[in-house]
Amino acid sequence: MDLKTPDYVNDNPEQNDLWDKKYLLFLSGITAVFDGFKALDLENLGILHNELRVVIGPNGAGKSTMCDVITGKTRPTTGTVWFDGTEITKKKEDEIVRMGIGRKFQTPTVYDSLSVYENMELSLPGSKSVFKTLIAQNTKVERDRIMHLLERVRLADDADTEARYLSHGQRQWLAISSLILSQPRLLLVDEPAAGLTDAETELTGELLLELKKEHTLIVIEHDMDFVRQLDSRVTVLCEGRSMAEGPLEQVKNNPEVIEAYLGR
């Protein structure tokens, strides 16, 4: 396969009966226009089942807008979004979450006044509110799953610690673990290495690579050392378009990418 030409450029979900066996997510002809400004302009973008795709690009490249479109926060001006064989372009955010798409923003979303364990409880499938969740009795399977996830990110010993006392890296791991607990098929993870120590960054990379065995991931990132650790296919966005795609070593030597992003 020619890595300079993604194999999905000629794919079309409406014309290829086998596309959903190959791609968990497929964006076709997507544009997002705000007050005459085209923030996103993607002809085709396909994410394979159990793929970890890294998306890089300068500020304003359209990375967040792309995630907003995928999760239903922003309705595209044109085009279609397909997930697991179903078009989700016009579905609401909560419907998309229930279908299996989860998102972790750059700033970890945790409840500071609750313990690490209680934060995890809120992400259990079927949880409705903080009050109902905290008075509910978890099953042994649920408790074991929570503790297993906390052990993976070295937070088991802090299960009873209020989240306010966690380091930035620990808060990132808690947010990611909470997202995993909700059992999404696709995880959108925004700048997981931002503000982490070297040791925390390495552990975060190991966690994301391990998650690829059970999930599909799209990771938005700026830290090139971290991107190199993930050793995955990279898509470069610039001015809303996909400028280049392939292994990091290939795209970072692309003259257009150097001029628009890496060379700055």
Distance CA 25, CA 38 (A): 22
Q: Which pTM was predicted?
A: 0.86
The phi and psi torsions of 225 (rounded to 5 degrees) equal: -65, -40
Kindly report, residue by residue over 167-184, the tens digit of the pLDDT: 988 999 999 999 888 889
CA count, 13 A, side-chain hemisphere, 256: 12
Kindly report, residue by residue over 54-103, the tens digit of the pLDDT: 999 988 899 999 999 999 999 999 999 999 989 999 999 999 999 999 99
Distance CA 33, CA 37 (A): 5
Q: Are strands 234-238 and 52-56 parallel, antiparallel or unpaired?
A: parallel
**DSSP at 162:** B
**Which range is least confidently modeled, 59-73, 88-102, 200-214, 227-241?**
200-214
pLDDT for the residue numbered 133: 46
Kindly report, residue by residue over 134-158, the tens digit of the pLDDT: 555 668 888 999 999 999 889 999 9
Going by pLDDT thresholds of 50, 70 and 90, the confidence category of residue 5 is: very low
| 17: pLDDT strictly greater than 60 | no
Domains in the chain (CATH in brackets) are: 1-99+233-264 (3.40.50.300)
Would you call 71 helix, strand, or coil by DSSP?
A: helix
